[in-house]
């Protein structure tokens, strides 16, 4: 760990803050996308190695679809604790705090990430996993790391256009908890970050 990783976190938080502040959700998404591309291309803690950065032309994303932005109330769910093993970070504890509805796509679980401070964690594995998106799924919210689109005391902003791959997608030196059973949808979600069309960069 280093201060450069702290800078990555700060810059990620700032990108999500800009997205929250934007009057137009698609404009906020474009700001976030452009910033994410810049981080991947130039930051010392980019998950891309030197060769991949040299060939990098931007992360592939599906077009923005306003119908895939939701502001669901947090619904009830029976308490559940998961302890997810990771390669480098040991066991990551997750406590289910509720569910959110993604309309016709279905409901998914919302988790509180254990550890000092904690935070909301909302991973998603959908019908595109293993084909056009990472097989382990993507993240929608990870507030410990600044990935937060807002909401209030009862609702969360869940915009599937912001679905992004965790760093372990690009480099095995990173560990990341993957989507548990209650965060898996059979329907494809044609939104958010995609895998590069001919393989890795």
pLDDT at 138: 96
CA gap 37, 137 in Å, rounded: 20
User: Per-block average pLDDT, block size 10, for the chain (201 residues)?
Assistant: 88 98 98 97 92 91 98 97 75 93 97 89 97 95 95 95 92 82 96 82 48
Q: 3-class SS at 145?
A: helix
**Global pTM?**
0.94
Can you give the pLDDT at residue 182? 96
Beta bridge partners of 138: 124
């Amino acid at each position: 760990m280093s201060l450069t990783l702290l800078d990555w976190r700060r810059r990620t938080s700032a990108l999500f803050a800009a997205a929250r502040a934007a009057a137009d959700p698609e404009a906020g998404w474009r700001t976030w996308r452009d910033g994410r591309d810049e981080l991947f291309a130039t930051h010392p803690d980019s998950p891309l190695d030197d060769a991949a950065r040299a060939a990098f032309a931007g992360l592939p994303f599906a077009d923005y679809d306003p119908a895939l932005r939701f502001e669901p109330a947090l619904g009830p769910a029976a308490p559940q604790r998961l302890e997810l093993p990771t390669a480098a970070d040991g066991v990551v504890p997750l406590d289910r705090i509720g569910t959110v509805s993604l309309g016709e796509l279905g409901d998914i679980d919302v988790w509180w990430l254990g550890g000092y401070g904690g935070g909301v964690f909302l991973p998603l594995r959908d019908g595109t996993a293993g084909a056009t998106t990472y097989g382990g799924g993507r993240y929608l919210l990870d507030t410990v790391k600044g990935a937060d689109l807002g909401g209030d005391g009862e609702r969360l902003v869940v915009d599937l256009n912001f679905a992004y791959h965790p760093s372990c997608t690009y480099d095995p030196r990173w560990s990341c908890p993957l989507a548990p059973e209650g965060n898996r949808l059979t329907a494809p979600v044609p939104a958010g970050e995609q895998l590069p069309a001919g393989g890795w960069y």
